[in-house]
Amino acid sequence: MSSAALLILVLTLPVAGILLVVVGGGRQARGISLAVLVGNFAVAVGIGGAVCRTGRAVTYSSGGWTAPLGIQLRADGLSVVMLITAAVVALAVGVYAPNEFAVRRGGVETRRSLAFWSLLLAVSCAMNAIFLGNDFFNLYVALELLTFAAVPLVCLTGTRATLEAALRYLLFALTGSALYLLGVALLYGNYGTLDITKLSGLVRYEPGMPLWVAVALMTSGLAAKTALFPLHLWLPPAHGGAPPSASALLSALVVKGSFFLTVRLWFDTVPGQAGMRTGQLLGAMGAGAIVVGGVLALKQERLKLLIAYSTVAQIGYLFLMFPLAGHVGALSGGMLQAAAHAFAKASMFLGAGLMAEVAGSDRLDGLRGMGRALPLTTCAFVLAALSLVGVPPTGGFMAKWQLLSAAFSAGQWWWVVVILCGGLLAGGYMFRAVRPTLVEGIQPAAAIPRLREWVVLALAVCALLLGGFSKKVLELLDIGRPQITEMRP
Amino acid sequence: MNAVYGLFAGLSALLLVVAGFAVVTRRHFAAVVGFTAFGLLLSLAWVALAAPDVALTEAAVGGGVTGVLLLSASVQMRAKMEVLPSWGVRFIAAVLAAIVTAGLMLVVLMLPDEAPTLAPAAKESLAFTGMGNPATAVLMAYRALDTMLEKVVLLLALVAVWSLGRDHFWGGRPDFDFSTQTSGPLLLLARVLVPVGVLVGIYLFWVGADEPGGAFAGGALIAAMGLLAFFAGVARPPLVGSGWLRWAVVAGIAVFLIVGFGGFWGAGDFLAYPDGLAKPVIVVIEVAMTLSIALTLVLLVVGPPGRRP
């Protein structure tokens, strides 16, 4: 097996894990899942090593059938950064989760243990498939995999409110899938291939109305799945109501899946072709997300809802890369933001879960004294908040810095204003979340295993380190990119 | 020629009317019936367009599986009030649907007259796969990875449905027992039709190698027979906690994975088939897949466990 075969391994390993969890029942679910997630991380790093070593994208054609008839998997710099990010977050959630989805005494499987562990592995598999897909139909299957893994995670507790949130999420997600698929059908009808590399060559010579209708359909479908403002209505109840481990997966990873596909569509398939106006429209929606999400986050009284609205706002930054496409820093800023937000947000949701376990609820006014009760978690919480606000030297800062410099070099000063306003708003709502934890107060004694606290801290430290190692990450992001990406449109 | 055009025009008009009915009617049940009829008519349209593979899938999925799923949902909702979405929501949905339709109408005529297609390439490589039906070669050879991942999606759908049950029923049977209300004719139908239907299902899967058919169509038909047996009270839905059930549900994907990794050893690539052995290997995968698909579809319809184990 060559290193290219690792691409297949990173897809099939989680699938094998799901099968073992379904067959082995709850008793073994945790052990199987953790083993698979560790393996998943190792393979992701292995792929990263192969890409760095060769300095080129690694590809693999399943069954030996080459594209366009067969399916090609392709790992470039973007894939590697996201693969490793997702593997770290999924592993962290797996280590954190046991207490929440423990198996009943006597080793009898429960509804939650079966569902949680198989869905965790499914999210992992779907993310990997999205990061490696180089064929729009293969990517559609990956997207469906992600939807069917994510929606049940919302209603794991089974309460009426979470079922409603899950149903609403399902409707948005399926509408998004249908629009995406319509676009894919149009692309095939017009070009006779769905391979991204082949398509990017064809559209340069034969753009036209069908192409733009397809891109519009796919982009709106993906935006609904990513919860881009004003299609964000499903996100806060879904992410705020799910169990903390599920919220962490949903906010940190799942929304990045459809975002990543949007990047593949705009930066890899039709680079430098979209008019100024469409990019500005996506950017404007992102700006709306930053402002509206930020203002609504300021108003929340429950910690998990506050964090969920912060996700709405942070997703906005991701879409600022589209109007700035072609300027140095746009693509890398957006991707850094995706990774930094994944670490920080996973840390925050998991930390919020621990705090709610101690305090009995996640109401902000009940968090006093948390700094003494859970020092490690509170420390992680502050670090993650700094990254989300964009304070140097965190990953969040580097991401926003890249976007700012792209905005300056593009001469589009209005995005600078948006980014600065977003930073102020984030500072405001994060201050509201952090302040009570640092104030003196008395919390009931609760036995939280140290390991779970360390996991929360480790994720926050990852967000911090991403800033420190941003130069390396930026170099990695450039590997295997078509030259056109960083040119003026 | 005119007769053919007349047939097309009539079928298209009928499709529009039935689709309109399914959208406009205010009763769930009527909408579901309309939707199912639409699926069956659509499969006729595919036959008219000389796409029997698509027609079979549309009949199995659009008319069959989805229809049954919607029907059982509609029956369970009957006790509750028929709630319509608010006027605003319906208005927005109508506007969005109109925009999408307008966009599609705009470009569908702009597509190249001679559609670029991979169909010749799919036929050219047919000999390597041992299949006679290009659609099956696409599903089981060229794009087998997609087929495998789709089966994972189906499994996840089952996990999702199961996860909607109540905690204390976990491991028990779905609440889908009609044995007290069985009527004579239904019982007779179940006894006569089920064995025949299962046989036809197996045939459908078997001819899939060379003719329209395949694992999904066969599996869907076998699933329908299973449901008929439950409706008639001849059989009971299984315990969701039972070991054999779990094995049967994952069998298709498991065989896929084993064959996939065997491909590294036997033919140098994941999911590559050794020379001359492609057909038997594909049949082995499809047997397991038909079993898993049939069982999963049945379990999706009968729903989460609703009784104590």
Facing residue for A145 by CB, picked from B143, B153, B166: B153
* Residue A447 DSSP symbol: -
Residue B2, CA distances (Å) to A260, B12, B43, B44 in order: 50, 15, 22, 18
Q: What is the band of A103 on the pLDDT scale with cuts at 50, 70, 90?
A: low
Which chain A residues touch B159 with a CB distance below 8 Å? 22, 114-115, 118-119, 152
Which of B90, B143, B253 to mutate: most A Cβ within 10 Å?
Answer: B143
Phi, psi of A28 (to 5 degrees): -95, -5
List of chain B residues whose C-beta atoms are within 8 Å of the C-beta of residue A16: 257
| Chain B (157-176) residues lying within 8 Å, Cβ to Cβ, of chain A | 157, 159-160, 162-167, 170-171
Cβ-count burial of A151 within 10 angstroms (0-12 exposed, 13-18 middle, 19+ buried)?
buried
Please give the Cα distance from A226 to A90 (Å, whole number). Answer: 19
A42 band by pLDDT with thresholds 50, 70 and 90:
very high
Integer Cα distance of A311 and A322 in angstroms? 19
Question: What is the pLDDT confidence band of residue A489, given thresholds at 50, 70 and 90?
Answer: very low
pLDDT band at A379 (very low <50, low <70, confident <90, very high): very high
- Distance between CA atoms of residues B209 and B266, nearest Å: 22
Cα dist from A79 to A101, A263, A271, A316, whole Å: 31, 11, 18, 21
Mean per-residue pLDDT pooled into runs of 10, chain B (309 residues): 81 93 85 91 90 88 86 74 75 90 87 84 82 84 92 95 87 75 79 89 85 84 89 84 91 93 86 84 90 93 84
Of the residues A15, A59, A188, the best mutation for testing chain B's interface (the one with the most B CB atoms within 10 Å of its CB) is: A15
Per CB-CB distance under 8 Å, the chain B contacts of A162 are none
Question: Three-class SS of residue B50?
Answer: coil
ipTM reported for the complex, 2 dp: 0.93
Confidence of residue A204 (pLDDT cuts 50, 70, 90): confident
pLDDT at residue A203 in the model: 87
Query: Does residue A347 register a pLDDT over 50?
Result: yes
Residues 261-290 on B with a CB inside 8 Å of A are 261, 263-264, 267-273
Q: Where are the domains of chain B?
A: 1-84, 118-309
Indicate if the pLDDT at residue A92 is higher than 80: yes
Q: Outline where B163-277 has alpha helix (H).
A: 184-207, 215-231, 243-266
pLDDT at residue number A485: 43
User: Chain A 59-88, CB below 8 Å of chain B: which residues?
Assistant: 60-65, 68-71
Euclidean distance between CA atoms A164 and A155, whole angstroms = 8
Most confident of A275-284, A359-368, A454-463, B6-15: A454-463
Tokens at A451, concatenated: 């390991």
Residue A326 has pLDDT above 90, yes or no: no
The sign of the torsion formed by the CA atoms of A275, A278, A281, A285 equals negative
Over range A131-155, report the average pLDDT: 95
Q: CA-to-CA distance for B34 and B32, rounded, in angstroms?
A: 5
Tokens 């052995």 belong to: B277
Is A187 a residue whose pLDDT tops 90?
yes
Residue A369 C-alpha, separation from nearest chain B C-alpha, in angstroms: 35
Distances (CA, A) of B134 to A146, B44, B119, B271, B283: 29, 21, 8, 17, 15
What is the rounded average pLDDT of the residues A175-188?
94
Distance (Å, whole) CA B61 – CA B56: 8
Half-sphere exposure at residue A194, Cβ-oriented, CA atoms within 13 angstroms: 25
Amino acid at A147: T
Entry field: residues in chain B: 309
Of the candidates A164, A210, A89, the residue with the CA atom closest to the CA atom of residue B108:
A210
pLDDT tens for each residue of A425-466: 999 999 999 998 888 887 777 788 889 999 999 999 999 999
Residue A37: what pLDDT?
96
* Residue-level pLDDT at A124: 97
* Contact yes or no for A158/B164 (Cβ under 8 A): yes
**Helix (H) or strand (E) run with residue A61 in it:** strand A58-61
User: Could you tell me which of A14, A129, A148, A3 has the C-alpha nearest to residue A72?
Assistant: A129
Summary mean pLDDT of chain A:
90
Closest Cα in chain B, distance from residue A283 (Å): 21
